[in-house]
Chains A and B, each alone.
Chain A
Amino acid sequence: MGHRTPLYDQHVAAGGRMVDFADWDMPVHYGSLLDEHHAVRQDAGVFDVSHMTVVDVSGPGARDYLRHLLANDVDKAAPGKALYSAMLNDEGGVIDDLIVYRRADDYRLVVNCGTREKDLAWLAKQSDGFDVAVSERPDLAMLAVQGPQARSRLAALLAGPRRDAVTSLKVFGFAEDGDWLIARTGYTGEDGVEIILPGSDAVALWAQLLEAGVLPCGLGARDTLRLEAGMNLYGNDMDETVTPLQAGMAWTVVFNEGRDFVGRAALEAQRDAQPGPEQLVGLILEGKGVLRAHQRVLTAAGEGEITSGTFSPTLGLSIALARVPAGVSGEAEVEIRNKRLPVRIVRPPFVRHGKAVHQQLS
């Protein structure tokens, strides 16, 4: 038996198909992944993401520590704002991707559950010489309420500052009230919020959301939604052998003057080399079939590989993220069961706010 979130019994009661996910018993779907996917694109869905690891970072050295630890610069986030960043090793490889919430005096991180142990070890190792306290918060659960109707459905269930937060937060803003942290963030490409809260409160809120017609959604829909939204999945689209520059994450790296973050020298060398680093692109298969991770991509400039692939429920065809040589654009071929099928190379995301948005890469 794996770890269980505080919502385990609720998942089983809702018909959740429970699977092992990085040693957690999690729902992959509750009957139909497609229905759950469409609910988030068209209405509202709720995900239990309590398996993710919440870590608080405080102390007088917290800012300097995070500016050393992360490829993105926490100074870019004002208090009350969230920031997405990679955490790199000395070679520039991605140890994990994470969200930092900048509070008035300290910070909260949310990292992946599959990388929890190595992340905590790295956080501890890198804290040498900084006056910081790094503490995991296993007592907290996390719900993602996502979809065009998510905030209005949720706001109707809340009062006071929590309601105000849900209705008025700007994108990537967050607010805290008691033990609740409400952030206008997500992993679906739709509007919505993520709420970090005590486990018992999560159980009560989950029941209220389902009562209000918000559909429970599993990890399967979470994956198809994030892939349509062009968002990376750690372990698929990047890992320790890949830098953010090779993973479509250059926008999250800040080479500002005088800040020597872990992995910077390696990234600068890769950035300035010729040919440039490989790139992460989107692929669209117009014909029949489904693109899957590890299929070979054949381009004019050489071979690449699909890092994540799926059938896109919104577009009704198959999409993928793929790592290909620098400068590739236009058309390519993907090898599926010894057949070569033509694909278009595009710039992700594929879908935002319910609409197709991908652009041909040229």
Chain B
Amino acid sequence: MSDIRAELRYASTHEWVRLEDDGTAYVGISDHAQDAMGDLVYVELPEVGQELEATDEAGVVESVKAASDIYAPVSGEVVAVNEALEDTPELVNQDPYGDGWLFRIRVADTAELEQLLSANDYREQLDSED
């Protein structure tokens, strides 16, 4: 059973979002997603300063076996990327909700967060995929 954090919102494409007090949000991929991918060996992240619309392609995670696109779960400007992943992409496998975050975005419209899945909704999606 994969770990799903109650305090996060989720995209159906398996990204998670955590809104901070300053109006920015961290984005990563779920425990389920990292587990399904297997050992990650390469992560391609967006550029700092890049403007993303929700559902835009924001990067790629690659495991030994496969590449998978990452989509922006909400719109906004990328204000930081997790540079540690360049040399240690396995952080995403080890700590998908912590040190394995992918990028941080200045959320243009917090109402978009409400469009995303709650932890319960995301759990239901995973159960229906099994």
Q: CB within 8 Å of B: which residues of A?
A: 28-29, 32-34, 37, 220, 223-224, 288-290, 292, 310-311, 313, 318, 337
What's the Cα separation between A310 and B38 when bound, in Å? 14
Residues of A within 8 A of B86 (CB): 288
Contact assessment for A290 and B39 in the assembled complex, using a CB-CB cutoff below 8 Å: no
Provide the main secondary structure of the chain B interface: strand
Residues of B within 8 A of A337 (CB): 44, 60
CB of B62 within 8 Å of the partner chain: yes
Contact assessment for A34 and B42 in the assembled complex, using a CB-CB cutoff below 8 Å: no
Q: CB within 8 Å of A: which residues of B?
A: 38-39, 41-42, 44, 60, 62-65, 67, 86
14 contacts between A and B (CB under 8 A): A32-B38, A33-B38, A33-B64, A37-B64, A223-B65, A224-B64, A289-B42, A289-B44, A289-B62, A290-B41, A290-B42, A290-B67, A310-B64, A337-B44
Q: Can you name the residue of chain B whose Cβ is closest to the Cβ of A35?
A: B39
How far apart are A276's CB and chain B's nearest CB, in angstroms? 34
Contact assessment for B62 and A311 in the assembled complex, using a CB-CB cutoff below 8 Å: yes
Contact assessment for A311 and B42 in the assembled complex, using a CB-CB cutoff below 8 Å: yes
What's the Cα separation between A32 and B93 when bound, in Å? 11
Residues of B within 8 A of A29 (CB): 38
Contact assessment for A290 and B38 in the assembled complex, using a CB-CB cutoff below 8 Å: no
How far apart are B43's CB and chain A's nearest CB, in angstroms? 9
Residues of A within 8 A of B64 (CB): 33-34, 37, 220, 224, 310-311, 313
What's the Cα separation between A224 and B42 when bound, in Å? 16
Contact assessment for A288 and B42 in the assembled complex, using a CB-CB cutoff below 8 Å: yes
What's the Cα separation between A34 and B38 when bound, in Å? 9
What's the Cα separation between A318 and B44 when bound, in Å? 15
Pick from B62, B65, B86 the residue with the most CB of A within 10 Å: B65
Known: A32-B39, A311-B62. 17 other contacts (CB 8 A): A28-B38, A28-B65, A29-B38, A32-B38, A33-B39, A33-B65, A34-B39, A34-B64, A37-B64, A288-B86, A289-B62, A290-B41, A310-B64, A310-B65, A311-B41, A311-B42, A311-B64
Contact assessment for A220 and B42 in the assembled complex, using a CB-CB cutoff below 8 Å: no
Residues of B within 8 A of A288 (CB): 42, 44, 86
Contact assessment for B65 and A220 in the assembled complex, using a CB-CB cutoff below 8 Å: yes
Q: Can you name the residue of chain A whose Cβ is closest to the Cβ of B36?
A: A17
Q: Can you name the residue of chain A whose Cβ is closest to the Cβ of B39?
A: A34
What's the Cα separation between A33 and B36 when bound, in Å? 12
How far apart are B19's CB and chain A's nearest CB, in angstroms? 30
Residues of A within 8 A of B62 (CB): 289-290, 311
